[in-house]
Amino acid sequence: MRLNQKVRYGVACLFELAQFPGEYMDSDHMARKQNIPPAYAHKVLQAMVHGGLVFALKGVGYKLARPLASITALEVIEALTKDLDPNASNPDMGIVLEERINKALGSFTLAELGSR
């Protein structure tokens, strides 16, 4: 499985925010630190706000809504791929595969990922 760029950027932003837990960080700062186009970083962060992963404060920036230890990879992927059509028809085996992948992605947190 290959993750799309939006998910990769989202994970990078979450790890950047985790460097300063509880503090708000400007999206442009994160974009520079993680080598992400600023407009794209802002778009990714907004999607994660709607997904409940980060908080936003207008004019100040973003901060983690929860520690990385309580954010699963599945939550990140779901927050950043909501624009995909959930009603698209899938063959039965595709549904089984998707369920197994989702179960695996929901079984570990980002903090566990960072410790490897």
**For the segment 91-109, what is each residue's pLDDT rounded down to a tens digit?**
555 566 677 788 888 888 8
Nearest-CA neighbor of 72 among 6, 23, 7?
7
pLDDT digits (tens, 9 = 90+) for 40-82: 999 999 999 999 999 999 999 999 999 999 998 889 988 988 7
- Top CATH class, 5-114: mainly alpha
pLDDT digits (tens, 9 = 90+) for 68-79: 999 988 899 889
18 versus 92: the higher-pLDDT residue is 18
Query: Contact, 109 vs 68, CB < 8 A?
Result: yes
Q: What pTM did the predictor assign? A: 0.76
- For the chain, give every domain's residue range: 5-114
CA dihedral angle for residue 105, residue 111, residue 114, residue 116, rounded to 10 degrees? -80
